[in-house]
Amino acid sequence: MILLRRLLGDVLRRQRQRQGRTLREVSSSARVSLGYLSEVERGQKEASSELLSAICDALEVRMSQVMREVSDELSLAELAESAASTTEKVPAPMRPVLNPVSVTSVTGVPEERVTIKSPKEAVDVVAA
């Protein structure tokens, strides 16, 4: 399950770290407790719109930019989740069927199986 509060926290943390700022500096500027800001960054607390606005102001970044990054992260997470559920339902691709090959004699290789190496891949051929 994708949690929006975790994605938002990740984006806020990255913004703060890009600026080389500490939690203490940002929490002081945003007038929010250090512990609460830490919980928001770790996705443990939901940030209200007022709190998010104060954090964005403290980081000197537009809320729309933060929400755009969250939206991008959400899209990627949804795609990854969708791909994971799709791969469980779709069988693995089958190897192509080759035309039969007649082998008269190959020294040191069992008569029923011969490996032919092509530039792209090795192909097992079963003699009839």
CATH (domain of 78):
1.10.260.40
Is residue 48 a part of any domain in this protein? yes
57 vs 60: CA distance, rounded Å: 5
pTM, rounded to two decimals: 0.66
Is residue 123 a part of any domain in this protein? no
Is residue 13 a part of any domain in this protein? yes
Is residue 74 a part of any domain in this protein? yes
Range of the domain at 42: 2-83
73 vs 71: CA distance, rounded Å: 5
Is residue 16 a part of any domain in this protein? yes
Which residues on neighbouring strands pair with residue 115, listed in sequence order?
A: 124
pLDDT in tens, the chain (128 residues): 889 999 999 999 999 999 999 999 999 999 999 999 999 999 999 999 999 999 999 999 999 999 999 999 999 999 998 888 776 555 555 655 555 555 455 565 555 655 555 555 544 555 54
Is residue 66 a part of any domain in this protein? yes
Query: How many domains is the chain partitioned into structurally?
Result: 1
Q: Which two tokens stand for residue 46?
A: 């939901």
Which residues on neighbouring strands pair with residue 117, listed in sequence order?
A: 122
Is residue 120 a part of any domain in this protein? no
Is residue 42 a part of any domain in this protein? yes
